[in-house]
Amino acid sequence: MPREAKLFEAAKGSPARALLRMQANIPPKWILRARRSRKSLEPGLALSIKKLQKLRKSRPKARATIKAAEQELRAHLKAWDLAYQKETFYNGLRALLEISRTGASRR
């Protein structure tokens, strides 16, 4: 069972707010896991996009089916967007921690 993103939620997705709450390290594994999580959602997202495009082209009058496909795509996009926000949050927080320690960042 995956852990909850408590730091992400407490900081409301802002690395600057998270920096004030935390002075520990962000392990590179956190960033890799966030990236893997986002990348694992992409095949389903691609299928949803193609399904909607195919429906609109081949069955333009099937409004209920198209609407259901749009809702499915919207759900996939929402999940992908959240995963992307978490990935950039951890990258940004790691960069801010590097800046606070050394005065510069490699990112």
Residue 7 lies in a domain: no
d(CA 76, CA 3): 20
Mean pLDDT, residues 89-106: 85
Give the residue, 104 or 29, on which the prediction is more confident: 29
Transcribe 27-77 into DSSP letters. -HHHHHHHHHHHHHHHHHHHHHHHHHHHHHHH-TT-HHHHHHHHHHHHHHH
Give the residue, 58 or 98, on which the prediction is more confident: 58
Task: Report residue 60 CA to chain centroid gap.
Answer: 32
Residue 80 lies in a domain: yes
Q: What is the pLDDT of residue 11?
A: 83
Q: What is the Cα gyration radius of the chain?
A: 19
Question: Which structural domain, as residue segments, surrounds residue 68?
Answer: 13-102
Number of domains the chain contains = 1
pLDDT at 72 over 90: yes
* Nearest to 45, CA basis, from 86, 78, 85, 2: 78
- Reported as a single tens digit per residue, the pLDDT across 18-59 is 887 776 777 888 889 899 999 999 999 999 999 999 999 999
